[in-house]
A and B are shown apart, each in its own frame.
Chain A
Amino acid sequence: MTQIKQYFQFIFNLCQKEFLTVLKDPSSRIILILPIIMQSILFGYAATFDLKEVPYAVLDQSNSQASHDVLQKLKGAGLFNQVATLHGSNEVADVIGNQEALMVVYFPADFADKLQQDQASPLQLIVDGRNSATANAVVGSFNAITLAYNASTDVGSQLPITVKSRAWFNPNMETRWIIMPGMIAALSMIQTMMLTALSVAREREQGTFDQLLVTPSLPSQILISKAVPSIFIGLIQSTLVFLICRFWFDIPFQGNLFVLYLGLFLFTLASVGIGLSISAVSLNMQQAMLYTFVLLMPLMLLSGYATPLANMPDVMQNMTYVNPLRFSISIVRRVYLEGATLADVYTEMLPLILIAVVTLPVASWLFRHRTS
């Protein structure tokens, strides 16, 4: 009993030291908190594929009631903003090429006539495809407008089938709703991993690690004490992003806080495990920093955070199974937006536990056996 008590006393003492070294300086406190808040708010606004004030130009060679009506509808949609009126098709290239307008709506001279004759009356939509995501969104929105126009005039083609689509969990399909919950996990990972990776490397560089190893502390105690502050800081950062999602961007939280935090805890544990392994392998802070950075990039990019995993080739999809961020982003999104329960997401927690169970003992072993 006293031995157990003593074991935890040791850990408590070591943790206290870790917290002090990390949080003592005001500058490091600031660098752990402020950027997270700024980034989540800034990126929350930035992360959107949803169109806004698309600048467009009109080349109306028909100049008819019909073309005016279509343009009127376009204006009414509120997404588009006319910036120019063109007078010849030769102007199209420049206005698109120089990014004055993102699209040109071109009504051919026979536009109204064909419409009158109950024929299909094509108008051309020239879109700047340099950002293909935006281009596709523009075409989609414009299609919807012409469909609405056709319906209103009752001359348009009424296909016998209509697709009525519903989007569960995010009815307006807002990009922000999926990017922000993803950030709850992704943003905290950057600094958690960096912090952990540096923690042992810093002690090695400053010589304090040897000092620690000649005391009666056990490697497991050192390991736990290195992990606890990082996990704590990681969870605090996640909480900050969570609060910003919930209260700044008003994204409704559908799930259970316990499940969310269980998922986040396991994720942070796994990233700390990776961080500690990096730390144990690196001989100095510079190496630790570079290794972490080199690892962080693919982890972030292949996590489904910005682009869907399902779009990737199978080989790359398989690679993502060792990426803790992949699972945590999925857990957070599902719990946050879908209200997924523990039963729904436990399969995605298991890999996180596995990663932690592999990396932490490896790190602990490396502590003692990796010597310069």
Chain B
Amino acid sequence: MKTNARASGGFVSRLWALVKKETRQLLRDQSNLLIGIGLPIALIFIFGYGVTLDVKDIKLAVVTTQPSEQTEEVVSAIRLSQYFKPTIMTSFQQAEKALRARDVEAIAVFDDSFAADLAAGQADVQLIVLGSDATRASSIRTYFSSLIGTWAQKQADRHNVSTAGKGVTVIPRIWFNDANTSTWFIVPGLIVLIMTLVGTFLTALVMAREWERGTLEALFVTPVRPTEIILAKIIPYFFVGIIGLVLCVLASTFLFHVPIHGSFFILVVGSVIYMLVALAIGLLISAKTRNQFLASQMAILVSFLPAMMLSGFVFDLGNLPTAVKLIGLLLPATYFIELLRTVFLAGNFWPIILKDLALLTLYAVVLLGLARMLTKKTLD
């Protein structure tokens, strides 16, 4: 087979030799595997279980200065809810102290006249949350309001006060996330993160290392072509990225039960193209810096952090000021996240899929072309 390859002009056999070399180096250096395989697995667990916007175990101080049948009922309703862990307190001072000491996260105050007001048909519950943990606070507020609302509804029904059931009611239908959990939208984002990590960070380092260690000088003075050097770097790391992808898809399907509504084929095609984009960015960075420290800093600054913060991974691009949004729209990661979320959660919506695929392909072609142009066999 080797002789055949040689007959076809040397390109294949040289490329094959370089790919073999890269793969061996990749497999022998444990720190590569740590980043390429170990970190993705750790991230899957951290993201799948640790990083969640879904609230649980809300430690709530319930202040009832004048316990009554009604307050008892509310409290037991709170206690029954899966979200709250209430503690009964008799004075507001005590509750406030607990809040400041972070022993509780919110205070619900039922004041002296609660029972009386309720009988009169107009009672207030005061809820105090910590704005300094705004993400959680706003969820607490929503859950608490709906809990009280449900309870009040039941009360009203029981007393046949049919004020209820009138007026506009909203039936929310949240599509594409039946379980309404943030894991579903974070896990596709995780794929982007891991592929950026392997593609950009690792490749930038590996190529910069060759410059630093001077291994390229001897390599350059052989029949090898710059394209072959680039391709040989791309191919093994491409597969490491694909391993990351497979791990993520397996984890999302079997551990987190995230559905894949769209075409699996599109998922693979999109990932392949994005992997090329990430690799090209890594090659570009290392071609420019030729130094491992700078390369790693650049990789973090231009690809990794923006992919996390500005691509819609966590924070929706639509909510951002226009200037910042434009930066987000320049990132290839943005389109890959959009594509992944659509394919995973929504299904085959072709206009979006085609737009994203087209843009990613464009990025891949342009960036790979640039990387090829900047990789010259010269020490100047």
Q: Which residues of A contact B (CB under 8 A)?
A: 27, 31, 35, 39, 42-43, 45-55, 66, 70, 94, 96-99, 102, 115, 118-137, 139-140, 142-143, 146, 149-150, 153, 155-175, 177-178, 190, 194, 198, 285-287, 289-291, 293-294, 297-298, 301-302, 306-308, 310-313, 316, 333-334, 337-338, 340, 344
Q: Is the CB of B52 within 8 A of A338?
A: no
Q: Which of A46, A53, A198, A308 counts the most B-chain CB atoms under 10 A from its CB? A: A46
Which residues on B sit within 8 Å (CB–CB) of A338?
A: 100, 130, 132
Which residues on B sit within 8 Å (CB–CB) of A163?
A: 124-127, 141, 144-145, 148-149
Q: A99-B338, A115-B167, A306-B314 are in contact. Are A165 and B293 (CB under 8 A)?
A: no
Task: Known A-B contacts: A129-B345, A132-B177, A338-B130. Give 19 more (CB < 8 A).
Answer: A27-B294, A39-B309, A42-B310, A42-B327, A129-B176, A134-B318, A136-B142, A149-B168, A165-B141, A168-B129, A173-B134, A177-B134, A298-B42, A301-B50, A306-B51, A310-B57, A311-B54, A312-B52, A344-B100
Stretch of B20-28, B181-189, B273-281 with 4 or more beta carbons under 8 angstroms from chain A: B181-189
Q: Is the CB of A133 within 8 A of B124?
A: no
Mostly helix, strand, loop or mixed at chain B's interface?
Answer: helix
Q: Is the CB of A150 within 8 A of B167?
A: yes
Q: Is the CB of B138 within 8 A of A120?
A: no
Q: A311–B209 Cα gap in the complex (Å)?
A: 41
Stretch of B5-13, B157-165, B239-247, B362-370 with 4 or more beta carbons under 8 angstroms from chain A: B157-165
Sorted nearest first, the 8 A-B pairs with minimum C-beta distance are A170-B131, A156-B167, A129-B177, A167-B131, A97-B349, A308-B136, A165-B127, A150-B167
Q: Is the CB of A98 within 8 A of B349?
A: yes
From B131, B181, B185, give the contact of A131 (CB < 8 A): B185
Q: Is the CB of A35 within 8 A of B175?
A: no
Q: Which of A45, A49, A159, A297 counts the most B-chain CB atoms under 10 A from its CB? A: A159
Q: Is the CB of A285 within 8 A of B293?
A: yes
Determine the residue in chain A with the shortest Cβ distance to B56.
A311
Which residues on A sit within 8 Å (CB–CB) of B178?
A: 129
Q: Is the CB of B297 within 8 A of A31?
A: yes
Determine the residue in chain A with the shortest Cβ distance to B355.
A98
B253 interface contact, C-beta 8 A: no
Q: A53–B137 Cα gap in the complex (Å)?
A: 23
Which residues on A sit within 8 Å (CB–CB) of B214?
A: none
Q: A120-B165, A123-B168, A170-B134 are in contact. Are A293 and B124 (CB under 8 A)?
A: no
Shortest Cβ distance from residue B63 to the other chain A in the assembled complex, whole angstroms: 14
Provide 24 A-B residue pairs closer than 8 Å at the C-beta atoms, listed in order of the A residue: A66-B168, A97-B352, A102-B318, A115-B168, A129-B345, A130-B177, A130-B346, A133-B314, A140-B142, A149-B168, A150-B168, A158-B163, A167-B137, A194-B297, A293-B201, A294-B35, A297-B46, A307-B52, A308-B55, A308-B136, A337-B132, A338-B130, A340-B100, A344-B101
Q: A302–B48 Cα gap in the complex (Å)?
A: 12
Which residues on A sit within 8 Å (CB–CB) of B141?
A: 163, 165, 167
Q: A157-B166, A161-B124 are in contact. Are A307 and B174 (CB under 8 A)?
A: no
Q: Is the CB of A125 within 8 A of B142?
A: no
Q: Which of B43, B144, B167, B349 counts the most A-chain CB atoms under 10 A from its CB? A: B167
B351 interface contact, C-beta 8 A: yes
Shortest Cβ distance from residue B152 to the other chain A in the assembled complex, whole angstroms: 4
Shortest Cβ distance from residue B338 to the other chain A in the assembled complex, whole angstroms: 7
Q: A48-B320, A118-B166, A146-B169 are in contact. Are A160 and B156 (CB under 8 A)?
A: yes
Q: Which of A153, A285, A308, A340 counts the most B-chain CB atoms under 10 A from its CB? A: A308
Q: A98-B351, A178-B134 are in contact. Are A121 and B142 (CB under 8 A)?
A: no
Q: A124-B171, A125-B173 are in contact. Are A47 and B133 (CB under 8 A)?
A: no
